[in-house]
Amino acid sequence: MKRVIFNQKGGVGKSTIAVNLAAIAAHQGKRTLLIDIDPQCNSSRYVLGAATTEVAPTLGAYFEQMLSFSMFAKEASHYVHTTPFENLSIMVAHPELGDLQSKLESRHKIYKLRDTLKELSQQYDEIFVDTPPAYNFFTQSALIAADTCLIPFDCDDFSRQALYTLINNVKEIKADHNANLSIEGIVVNQFQPRALLPQRLVDELKEEGLPVMENKLSSSIRIRESHERNLPMIHLDRNHKLSQEFLALYGELQAA
């Protein structure tokens, strides 16, 4: 399964969801690969902490190789690194990805990530791709390469309006580049069940026929500690409410 976590709006928990779902898959014995193609490197830092800056080669080097036409190009697996967590590997982002974007676009390299994921899917049971908060070359490449797209959503009206644009963009990729791509679900993040607005927004999205996941993720200060300690919730505190919500969400994805 090749799954992209995508939202054009920043601050919706995209990297947090990608890392925690990947960590759960690995914890349950799946050979799991996390690919961070966001120049902000949030997923990479979440998993590796300060060591992120020392890891090489990165995805920056991988994409740069695509521009060099070298006869001795390294296979994709050369850019995969182990993590402190059993069964979880990572392809690490680098800030230089932002500088490479225009060059990759001009050379029409948008299908290269699809070939990469096809190659790596022989070695991994699940692949999670964390994308930039923008509909750009890297996000489009990931959607072209993926089986499914998972959309984080925080419950406010700005996010709702952005959601419709996002869904149309995914539909465009499906129509033009990847007929097998599907929206696996909309993940409601930072959910406050006692507040009226979030529940109303969720109900309205469901009434519109949008694929809102049943399992939602609560707001919790504990996730900040998870980030600071570079420990996904399943490793920080398995019994915490948010850990259980991530487990339930992962179970829902597997059951679909």
The pLDDT tens digits for 193-239 are 777 888 899 999 999 999 999 999 999 999 999 999 999 999 999 99
In terms of residue numbers, what domain contains 230?
A: 6-255
**End-to-end Cα, the chain, rounded Å:** 12
Cβ neighbors of 154 (< 8 A, separation 6 or more) are 11, 12, 13, 188, 189, 190
Predicted confidence band at 144 (pLDDT cuts at 50, 70, 90)? very high
Q: Is there a domain that residue 1 lies in? A: no
Whether the model pTM is above 0.85: yes
Q: What angle do CA 246, 168, 255 make, to 5 degrees?
A: 30
Q: Is there a domain that residue 196 lies in? A: yes
- Say if residue 11's pLDDT is above 90: no
Q: Is there a domain that residue 75 lies in? A: yes
Q: Is there a domain that residue 38 lies in? A: yes
Separation between Cα atoms, residue 256 and residue 16, nearest integer Å? 22
DSSP-assigned letter for residue 49: G
Answer for the pair 235, 85: CB distance below 8 angstroms, yes or no.
Answer: yes
pLDDT digits (tens, 9 = 90+) for 29-41: 999 999 999 999 9
- Number of domains, the chain: 1
Separation between Cα atoms, residue 200 and residue 108, nearest integer Å? 43
- Say if residue 69's pLDDT is above 70: no
Closest Cα partner for 169 from 136, 212, 121, 213? 136
Separation between Cα atoms, residue 229 and residue 231, nearest integer Å? 5
Report the mean per-residue pLDDT for the chain.
94
State the average pLDDT over residues 160-180: 94
Q: Is there a domain that residue 96 lies in? A: yes
Q: Is there a domain that residue 211 lies in? A: yes
Q: Which amino acid does the sequence have at 196? A: L
- Say if residue 82's pLDDT is above 80: yes
Predicted confidence band at 74 (pLDDT cuts at 50, 70, 90)? confident
CATH of the domain at 167: 3.40.50.300
Q: Is there a domain that residue 227 lies in? A: yes
Q: Is there a domain that residue 85 lies in? A: yes
Separation between Cα atoms, residue 121 and residue 211, nearest integer Å? 26
State the average pLDDT over residues 67-89: 88
> What is the model's pLDDT at position 157?
77
Environment class of 59 (CB within 10 Å of its CB; exposed 0-12, middle 13-18, buried 19+):
buried
